[in-house]
Structure 1
Amino acid sequence: MRKELKLVLSPEEAYQDSVFRQVVVKESGFTDTEALIIRPLRRSIDARSRKVKVNVTVEVFSGEKPPPVIQAGKTYPNVRNAEPIVIVGAGPAGLFAALRAIELGVKPIVLERGKDVRSRRRDLAALNKLHLVDPDSNYCFGEGGAGTYSDGKLYTRSKKRGDIRRIMEILVSHGAKEDILVDAHPHIGTNKLPALVVNLRHSILNAGGEIHFETKVTDLILEKNSIRGVITDGGEKVLGMGVILATGHSARDIFHLLTKRDVFIEAKPFALGVRVEHDQNLIDKIQYHCQVNRGSFLPPASYSLVQQTVLAGKQRGVFSFCMCPGGFIVPAATSPGEIVVNGMSPSRRDGKFANSGMVVAVELEDLGGYHQHGPLAAMIFQQEVEQAAWIAAGKTQAAPAQRMVDFVSRKESKQLLPTSYQPGLQSTDMHAILPDFISKRLAMALPLMDQRMKGYFTNEAQLIGVESRTSSPVRIPRDKHLLEHPQIRRLYPCGEGAGYAGGIVSAAMDGERCAEMLVAKYHRSRLA
């Protein structure tokens, strides 16, 4: 017999296994035996009142063998000699496009400008310790893309774009914990993601697919408004039935290449601002209404904030982005001469600090004279802000920073706070770095956010800049239903870099859809 229960529990009941079992057994009415199987289906924290509760949906099996959580022993067909497709980029979109292509009987050839995860670590160490930026191997470029060295957030609002459960099950089958199938806001953690990405690679290679690292695409093979393949920096021509372009939101050279080859692209709004860093214990106290600490059963608290601001008669939201509890801030520049910051956290989220992007939308109307750059207007604007931050902070990877109240009061921060940002901080007037409409809106919004989170607005927090890679500043257009570029046949713009995703899961789903559409239209067996 199977029963499904919806329970409202205390943190101690929800996260202490032995106590959790006792509560579920009592509520189910079953006798507790070794044959009784309890399996959580959904779990979320409700911290709206002063007494934190955990909502849990659980299924209980008595005298009945439950179905497996995921399909065990998933195998992929051998596509070593099958017709190939070319996939540019080995981030979530590219890797999941490759796996889906294999399922459809097509051989993926994945070209990645960066290195494999093991080799990539050395370049990240050089970036953090020696301030050396490798333009092809950094926090954005390399195996797994920007997602490999991130918090590994897996929640998305893109529920209409694909099968979220399917993506989660593939991640679990490649090494993620089954908790991601249960938690309302699942994440994997930057310490767990590299091994998972390696397992994805092995599945692709074992099925006969190809992955080529340190292979940068430098040109497109175009014939009569159709793409037949690409040319790499080694001069090699790589051909296929079509090309899935999954290069990520920071591949500026690809955007330049598309413009040079007269492939239609367009400027796209994005968001820009700073990373805000607090002590995690402060965020826990605010969110969980506790005086000392959150206790041993609750996870580190997160937050999501939005504050509307009006400037020059225009209303624009200031909002938190990619909040990382117990995390750290990292240098995410992709070229020397720029400062970019991003946040991530390990699976346990047990670091001392909490950080979050705090950003403002940059609309096309804000770009002014940058429109002379045509479809690259937003990208050039973004790049110049990053370069200004690099100059202001001393032309190293030390990041400009200012304490929160000092920023709003336009006062110099004579002493900065301890930080998780390894290359170090440089006290700077952030108003001098950020575009005027960004800094003014941030200064308006931050004190008002204290109304929702009492204690959030404090000089015991600091702003670290700049957070500028929230999304792609360029959109590569495609047909709404067929996903093919409207000008270049067989070209499938994909994922964050093309402007159609915003995180690991949405990018993975988009990669799958692009592979499905390309194969459905151009595979020889379909054309016969």
Structure 2
Amino acid sequence: MEDKSFKEFVLSDLRISGREDVTVRKTRQSIDARGQQIKVNVQVDVFVNEAPDNFIDYKLPTTDVSHQPAVIIVGSGPAGTFAALRLIELGIKPILLERGKDVRARRRDLAAINKQHIVNPDSNYCFGEGGAGTYSDGKLYTRSNKRGNIRRILEIFVAHGASEDILVEAHPHIGTNKLPKIVAEMRSTILRAGGEIHFDCRVTDLLLKKQEIKGVTTASGQEFAGEGVILATGHSARDIFELLHRRDILIEEKPFAMGVRIEHPQRVIDRIQYRCRSDRGPYLPAASYNLVAQTYFEGVQRGVFSFCMCPGGFIVPAATAPGELVVNGMSPSRRDSRFANSGIVVAVQPEDTKKYASYGPLAGLQLQRVVEQAACRLAGNGQAAPGQLVSDFVAGKLSGELRETSYQPGLVSMDMREVLPSHIADPLRDGLRQFGQKMRGYLTHEAQLIGIESRTSSPVRIPRDSKSCEHPTVKRLFPCGEGAGYAGGIMSAAMDGERCAEQLVLHYGRK
């Protein structure tokens, strides 16, 4: 982490002699591009004639839990994986059940959806080892400061192969090209400690006895029992929501958002954010942005906001079943793609789902499904996505020709007003107009909209006690992470996984 030229600058600034035994260690780094002069703010620890203290406190677990009481974890995304690692530290054996494949085998299914438009409902960009985050960017920043120990989660990533830079950067990011190896290393840690991980193992039913969960049943008919069940299935496991509803287990409709991805040439965003006339140069990272607007539709206020902005990234097909069309964004570690993309989404209001009231708490899920299936059908029943120049969308006209894109399955020129419901499309247009005023050059003819972005978060919440994390009506069931409605990214999901593991052991661990 110590750069020679940077060290020389620090020594000169502090007037420290080069003859001293000095270690310079960065502890925080951020970029401030608000003023005319861009600044890189760096905090450092300097050790003169003394050994540096420990920068990383986390140590890999050495406990053998192979013969200890077991807890079932459904889902191997960040919530499930970090729950498993924490259970090992607490002396409990995790049995992790993943409907999809391991990270290496999963790549073949990603290639199939990109090149052949074939969607495997159990192995895709959302399902498989590591969850949606593994092949979907790897951003590690969060506003969830009160949910857990952020530093600890970052150190666990470093212990499994991530760069120490993530401990320093204000907006840490691993990259979708590096995350698979880190996820595989976490798997090795769990197995080495005596935990179990079962792939191609989709849960189809729950083992219930007098409102207490005893375990789960999988598609193969195998039963897994344990001291409790941590349900960490992610925001797209619709079959799990439907299972809970069918078994009369309390779930609730939850707010979410829906919209599109917008894709710009990265140089356009760089020039807007850095106010540079040419390329940003070798010292500044690909620029990002964060935008929010308030609009109105039929007298009701609608929030429009950017979501999961991916500088130097790609747009990918994120459907989880044939006949659906969903897009998402990701970035490699270097963020060196020629394109920048971001979700631009509109908050879904309760009145938007009234049409699907017969679905009860699954009304929002049904709205998602209807829009995704319609988009797929209108775009040709493959994974080619609707596309429209942003300037044409705002002007209300069809695009005669689309721009080059990072989206591999290809684009079909369409009017997004035909793809999106009016309560999404109209506020989206107003929001984009406002964004164009906030970022001059944002509404360029070089940018295009690609639809649809509908999996911003879970449309369902699985309720739980605020302290114990236990379901209010089913004992030993611990809803966890994004799918349960308690996280919004890798970091918050990981912290929630640890918290659920701790609470389960506190209440039902060995006495």
Q: TM-score range by the shorter chain?
A: over 0.9
Deviations 1:376-416 (A, max 9, x none): 00000011110011011111100001000101111110100
Deviations 1:347-369 (A, max 9, x none): 00000000000001112222121
Count how many residue pairs are aligned between Structure 1 and Structure 2.
511
Which residue number corresponds to residue 203 of structure 1?
Answer: 189
2:219 to 189, 211, 233: 233
2:411 to 420, 425, 431: 425
1:63 aligns with 2:49: yes
Contact 1:16–1:297 (Cα < 8 Å) also in 2: no
1:221 aligns with 2:221: no
Give the secondary-structure state (helix, strand or coil) at the position aligned to 2:216.
strand
Which residue number corresponds to residue 258 of structure 1?
Answer: 244
Deviations 1:309-336 (A, max 9, x none): 1222222211000000000000000000
Give the Cα separation in 2 of the matches to 1:141 and 1:404: 31
Which residue number corresponds to residue 151 of structure 1?
Answer: 137
Give every structure 1 segment of 4 or more consecutive aligned residues whose post-TM-superposition deviation is greater than 6 Å.
none
Which residue number corresponds to residue 274 of structure 1?
Answer: 260
1:331 to 317, 337, 341: 317
Deviations 1:449-487 (A, max 9, x none): 122211001121000000000000000000011100000
Give the Cα separation in 2 of the matches to 1:22 and 1:196: 33
Which residue number corresponds to residue 473 of structure 2?
Answer: 487
1:454 aligns with 2:440: yes
1:349 to 335, 347, 357: 335
1:358 aligns with 2:344: yes
Give the Cα separation in 1 of the matches to 2:268 and 2:321: 35
Give the Cα separation in 1 of the matches to 2:145 and 2:58: 25
TM-score, normalising length from structure 1?
0.95
Which residue number corresponds to residue 514 of structure 1?
Answer: 500
Contact 2:20–2:48 (Cα < 8 Å) also in 1: no
Cα offset, 1:279, TM superposition? 0.2
Deviations 1:276-317 (A, max 9, x none): 000000100000000011011100000000111122222221
Q: Report % sequence identity.
A: 63
Give the Cα separation in 2 of the matches to 1:73 and 1:433: 50
Compared with structure 1, are the counterparts of its residues 407 and 16 closer, same or farther at alpha carbon in structure 2 (3 Å cutoff)? Answer: farther
Which residue number corresponds to residue 105 of structure 1?
Answer: 91
Deviations 1:410-460 (A, max 9, x none): 111010000000000000110011010110011111122122211001121
Contact 2:2–2:24 (Cα < 8 Å) also in 1: no
Compared with structure 1, are the counterparts of its residues 226 and 356 closer, same or farther at alpha carbon in structure 2 (3 Å cutoff)? Answer: same
Give the Cα separation in 1 of the matches to 2:225 and 2:59: 32
Give the secondary-structure state (helix, strand or coil) at the position aligned to 2:312.
strand
Deviations 1:95-122 (A, max 9, x none): 0000000000000000000000000000
Give the Cα separation in 2 of the matches to 1:304 and 1:390: 29
Give the Cα separation in 2 of the matches to 1:468 and 1:16: 42
Give the Cα separation in 2 of the matches to 1:37 and 1:210: 42
Letter in 1 for 2:456: T
1:391 aligns with 2:377: yes
Give the Cα separation in 1 of the matches to 2:19 and 2:436: 50
Letter in 2 for 1:112: E
Give the Cα separation in 2 of the matches to 1:273 and 1:32: 56
Contact 1:472–1:496 (Cα < 8 Å) also in 2: yes
2:67 to 74, 77, 81: 81
Give the Cα separation in 1 of the matches to 2:40 and 2:268: 21
Cα offset, 1:23, TM superposition? 1.8
Question: Within 5 A, what are the aligned runs for 1:158-169?
Answer: 158-169=144-155
Give the secondary-structure state (helix, strand or coil) at the position aligned to 2:438.
coil
Which residue number corresponds to residue 42 of structure 1?
Answer: 28
Letter in 2 for 1:21: K
User: Structure 2 regions of 5+ residues with no counterpart?
Assistant: none
Give the Cα separation in 2 of the matches to 1:75 and 1:257: 35
Compared with structure 1, are the counterparts of its residues 72 and 90 closer, same or farther at alpha carbon in structure 2 (3 Å cutoff)? Answer: closer
Letter in 2 for 1:518: L
Give the secondary-structure state (helix, strand or coil) at the position aligned to 2:278.
coil
Contact 1:28–1:60 (Cα < 8 Å) also in 2: no
Give the Cα separation in 2 of the matches to 1:88 and 1:56: 41
Cα offset, 1:18, TM superposition? 3.7
Cα offset, 1:372, TM superposition? 1.3
1:138 to 111, 115, 124: 124
Letter in 2 for 1:459: H
Letter in 2 for 1:105: G
Which residue number corresponds to residue 284 of structure 2?
Answer: 298
Give the secondary-structure state (helix, strand or coil) at the position aligned to 1:326.
coil
Give the Cα separation in 2 of the matches to 1:100 and 1:58: 31
Letter in 1 for 2:499: R
Give the Cα separation in 2 of the matches to 1:32 and 1:288: 35
Contact 1:400–1:430 (Cα < 8 Å) also in 2: yes
User: Structure 1 regions of 5+ residues with no counterpart?
Assistant: 1-14
Which residue number corresponds to residue 28 of structure 1?
Answer: 14
Which residue number corresponds to residue 467 of structure 1?
Answer: 453
1:308 to 278, 294, 305: 294
Cα offset, 1:504, TM superposition? 0.4
